[in-house]
Amino acid sequence: MKAILSASIVLLCFSSTVMGGEHLTIATEIVQKAKSECASFEGGKFNATEQTITLHDFTGDGRPEEIVDASQFSCSTSASMWGGSGGTLLWVLADGKTHEFLAHKWRVVDMDGQKVLLLAVHSSECSDTLGPCYRALVWSDGFRTIR
C-alpha cells in the first residue's frame, strides 16, 4: 500500500504543473510498468520517491518536459531491475517522444539560457575502460550530444 501511495503522490504532485497531460500519461505509464515489473518478480514491493519525476524546459517553449528517473525506484525483490553497471534508466519526455538513456548520475544545468542534460555514463561510451565519461545533451529538434 505504501508503494502505491508513494507512486500516486509523486504523480499527483506534477498533475497540476504539466500542461496538456500528454506527458503525464506517459510518465504515469512508465512508473506503473515499473511497479508491475516489480510485482511480477517474486511478488516484490515497489516504491518511488518524490524525485522520480522532475520538470525541465529543454525545448524552450515555456512548458516543462518531464524526466522519469528509475534510480528513484526500488523493488524489494531486486536490487538492479532498472539498471546495472552501465547505469540506470532515465526517460526524458519531450516533443511527444520518449527518449531513453542510461546514466550513473545526471544533472540539468543552464548555459546561457539553454538547458543542458549532463549524464555520467559508463566509461565504455568514451572508448575507454578507465575514468569518468560524460555526455552533454541539448535540444534542437531532438537531443544532440557531443561525448
Residue 131, pLDDT score: 76
Residue 125, pLDDT score: 83
Number of compact structural domains in the chain: 1
φ/ψ region of 135 (left if φ > 0, alpha if ψ in -120 to 50, else beta) reads beta
Full residue range of the structural domain in which residue 60 is found: 2-146
Quickly list H helices, the chain.
Answer: 2-15, 22-40
User: Which residue reads 549524464 in cell numbers?
Assistant: 119
Residue 3, pLDDT score: 42
| pLDDT over 60 (residue 12) | no
CA 87, CA 120: separation in Å to the nearest integer? Answer: 8
Phi, psi angle pair for 85, to nearest 5°: -65, -20
Is there a contact between 64 and 56 (Cβ–Cβ < 8 Å)?
yes
Q: What is the mean pLDDT of the chain?
A: 84
Residue 137's identity, in one-letter code, is L
